[in-house]
Amino acid sequence: MRTPFRPLTRRGLLTGTLGSAALLAAGGSVAGCGTKAATQTEAGCVSEDLSGTEKTLTFSNWPQYMDVDDKDESERPTLDAFVAKSGIKVAYTEDVNDNNEFFGKVQNQLAGCQSTGRDIMVLTDWMAARMIRLGWIQKLDRSKLPNVEANLLPSLRGRSFDKDNQLAIPWQTGLAGLAYNGRVTKELRTVDELLTRPDLKGKVTALSEMRDTMGLLLQSNGHDPANFTAAQFDDAINKLKKAVDSGQIRRFTGNDYAPDLAKGDIAACIGWSGDAIQLGFDDDKIKFVVPESGVMIWSDNVVVPNRATHKGNAEQLVNYYYEPAVAARLAAFVNYICPVQGARAEMEKIDPALAANPLVFPDDAILAKSTVFMALDEKQEREYEGKFQQVIGA
C-alpha cells in the first residue's frame, strides 16, 4: 500500500536537525576522534558474541524506516515476523535523528571501547565510513549473510569504505539528482541547465548536503565523485559559487524544498528521489531527472558497533531483510530504493505501480550512471565541508 507524502521524511531528518553545517561546528570533537586514544583496532577492542545464549537484539534506526501496520502503528509486520521466525526478541528504537547528533551520543563509549547498548545502528554512508575509519565497527561474517551475498545490488558492492561488504550493509538507498515542476517550467536534463538557464534564474534550490550537491557538480565537469582530486573539487566549487553569485540559486535546503516545488514557488532543484516519489503521488508533473552526466547514490547502512554482544543475532536480522519478499514489503512502506535484487518481482504482488517505478527499482541504465561519493579522511572532510559552507553561506 502506498504511503502519503510525509512532510518530515528520513532525508529531511538527516539535514534538518544539524545538517552539514554541524560537521564544522563539531569539528573539535571530530578531530579528537582521530587521536590514538579514540581510534580502535580489532585486536585492541575485542567484542564477545553472546548470541548463542542470549536471543535478544537492540536496534537503533531512523524514524519512518520500518514498515508499520495501517491500523495499528505499534505493530511492525516484517520485524514481528522476524521475531516469530527466529525467536530473537528485538528492542527497536527510532533514535537516529541526525548523523552528527547520533555520533555525539555514542562517540565517548566507542572511543573508549565501551558498549553503546546497541547491537545495530543505521548510518548514512559518510558517517558509517567515519566510524569504520576510526575502527569502531565490527566485521560481519559473510558466511552468515548468504542472502546479502546473493542479492545485494551490484552497484552497492565494493564501496570505497567497505571493499569486502562486511562492515556496512545497505538498509535503504536513494538518489540525488534533479527535479522540476512541469507546470511552471520546461523539461530539464542537465546540471548545467539548472545552473545557467535564464528562465530558471532565482527559481532554483540546491541541497545543503555537501556530498549530494558537489557530487553532481563534479559529474557535470566530467570528474568522478568516487575518486577526485582537490583541484577537481575546487573547479566544481567555483562553478557552484558562480551560480550563487549570479542569483541563479535561490537558497540551499534540506528536504524543505519539497513543498515549494509542489506549489511551483521553485521551478527546479537538486533533490532526492524519495521526495519525488511522494510528491508524484499527488502530481504527475513533478519529475525526477537522472542528469546526463550522472546521479549520486547514497545508502543508509546497518552497522554493528564494537562491544555489541549480539553480532550473530544481528547477522540473522540483516540476512532476513535481504529475502526479496521481506525487502519488498519494507520498500512498499519507505518508498526509497530497495537494495535487494529480486524484490521487484515480489513488489509486483504488493503494488505494481511501485514495482514499475525506476526510483524504487532503478534499471541498469540508471544504476550505471550512479556513483557513491568518495570516502573522505578527517583532513579532507574538514577542508571540503569548509569550502562548501563558505559558498552556501551557512
What are the domain boundaries of the chain? 56-173+298-359, 174-296+374-392
Q: Cell 540476512 maps to which residue?
A: 319
Reply yes or no on whether the pLDDT at 25 is more than 60: no
Q: How far apart are CA 136 and CA 307, in angstroms?
A: 9
The model's pLDDT over 106-117, given as tens digits with 9 standing for 90+, comes to 999 999 999 999
pLDDT of the residue at 97? 81
Between 22 and 138, the higher pLDDT residue = 138
pLDDT of residue 255: 67
pLDDT of residue 31: 39
CA–CA separation, 48 vs 34, rounded Å? 25
Phi, psi of 43 (to 5 degrees): -75, -35
| pLDDT score recorded for residue 327 | 98
Residue 14 has pLDDT above 80, yes or no: no
Backbone torsions φ then ψ of 380, nearest 5 degrees: -65, -40
* Better-scored residue on pLDDT, 394 or 5: 394
For all residues of the chain together, what is the average pLDDT?
89
369 has a pLDDT exceeding 70: yes
Q: Partners of 206 in the beta sheet? A: 252
Q: Which fold has domain 56-173+298-359?
A: D-Maltodextrin-Binding Protein; domain 2 (3.40.190)
Q: Is the pLDDT of residue 297 over 80?
A: yes
Percent of the chain scoring above 90 in pLDDT = 72
Q: What is the C-alpha separation between 258 and 266, in angstroms, rounded?
A: 9
pTM greater than the 0.85 cutoff = no
Homologous superfamily, domain 174-296+374-392: Periplasmic binding protein-like II (3.40.190.10)
pLDDT higher at 38 or 84 = 84
The pLDDT of 8-25, averaged and rounded, is: 42
Q: Enter the C-alpha cell of residue 217.
A: 557538480
Q: Quick one: pLDDT at residue 296?
A: 95
Q: Lowest mean pLDDT of 73-82, 218-227, 243-252, 366-375, name the range.
A: 366-375
Distance CA(214)–CA(232), nearest Å, equals 11
The model's pLDDT over 52-71, given as tens digits with 9 standing for 90+, comes to 999 999 999 988 899 999 88
- Is 50 exceeded by the pLDDT of residue 128? yes
